Amino acid sequence: MDRWWRECAWSARPPPTCWRTSGTDSGRTPMGKKPNMSPKHQAPDQPVPGGETGRQSVVDTRASSLEDPQPGTASQQAVDPELQAARDNAEAMFARYQRLAADFENYKRRTRQELADRTQYANEELLRKLLPILDNLRRALDHAPEGIDRNWFEGIKLVARQFEETLQAQGLSTIPAVGEKFDPSQHEAIAREETDEHEEGTVVEEMQPGYRLHQRVLRPTLVKVAHPRALKS
């Protein structure tokens, strides 16, 4: 009788419940039961504790940081008098340096030009003293007496030509005169001729040749200049 009662009681027990789980082994929860979620993983419709207040506090903090100037900003904007004086002094020294550099460049340019002129015109005085000798040789050839030995005459002419070529090699050149317009910078008028064949101011005769050393007039040409005839009354 007891055995029969125990079998009936055992058969009347409800079957065991099979739990379905989800998640990892360490944190499995029965299906249908929501796990505890942190505020970060809660749904958007569920307010996060302190969320709106936290965002508002961040905005307020940023706004206050922009509106309120940092301490010491006004003092940094003010220029230190000693620093300003140092800047002014530096600018003045730089301007002085630029002027000195420009003056030094001009000095070097003048020095180079003077040295070149000194080298180019080093023989100016010597050539000026040799010109009368060349003039005398030409006069001697122009006024050679009749019956003179022809070989001797040709020899003197050859010497005069060599002497003139030597002077030309040093930069000497003749100044054109006859037929040119009178130029006071390189001509010297010592006579005038009344004529209607030439325009007024035209050189009609060369009295003594003039010479130029490179671009510098060594001796002006002595000339005769044309002048219109006076009208008869």
Going by C-alpha positions, the residue among 18, 38, 21 that lies closest to residue 30 is: 21
Contacts of 138 (CB under 8 A, 6+ apart): 160
Q: Which CATH class is domain 173-233?
A: mainly beta
* Mean pLDDT of all residues belonging to the chain: 76
Tokens matching residue 91 = 């600018």
Per-residue confidence band for 14, with pLDDT thresholds at 50, 70 and 90: low
Q: DSSP letters along 176-211, please?
A: P-TTSBP-TTTEEEEEEEE-SSS-TTBEEEEEE--E
Q: What percent of the chain has pLDDT over 90?
A: 27
List the chain domain ranges: 84-120, 124-170, 173-233
Paired strand residues for 21: 30
Per-residue confidence band for 32, with pLDDT thresholds at 50, 70 and 90: very low
Q: DSSP letters along 153-168, please?
A: HHHHHHHHHHHHHHHH
The reported pLDDT for the residue numbered 70 is 54
Question: Which residue bears the tokens 């002048």?
Answer: 227
The reported pLDDT for the residue numbered 162 is 93
Give the C-alpha distances (Å, rounded to integers) separating 100 from 23, 90, 97.
87, 15, 5
For 33-90, how does the pLDDT look when each residue is reduced to its tens digit (9 = 90+)? 444 544 444 444 454 444 455 545 544 555 454 455 555 555 455 678 888 889 999 9
The reported pLDDT for the residue numbered 16 is 53
Per-residue confidence band for 145, with pLDDT thresholds at 50, 70 and 90: confident
Element (H, E) at 218: strand 216-219
Give the highest mean pLDDT range of 13-27, 45-59, 71-85, 167-181: 167-181
For 182-232, how does the pLDDT look when each residue is reduced to its tens digit (9 = 90+)? 989 999 999 888 888 888 888 999 999 999 998 889 999 999 998 887 765
Tell me the pTM. 0.51
For 86-136, how does the pLDDT look when each residue is reduced to its tens digit (9 = 90+)? 999 999 999 999 999 999 999 999 999 888 888 888 888 899 999 999 999
The reported pLDDT for the residue numbered 225 is 92
- CA torsion sign for 121, 126, 127, 132 is positive
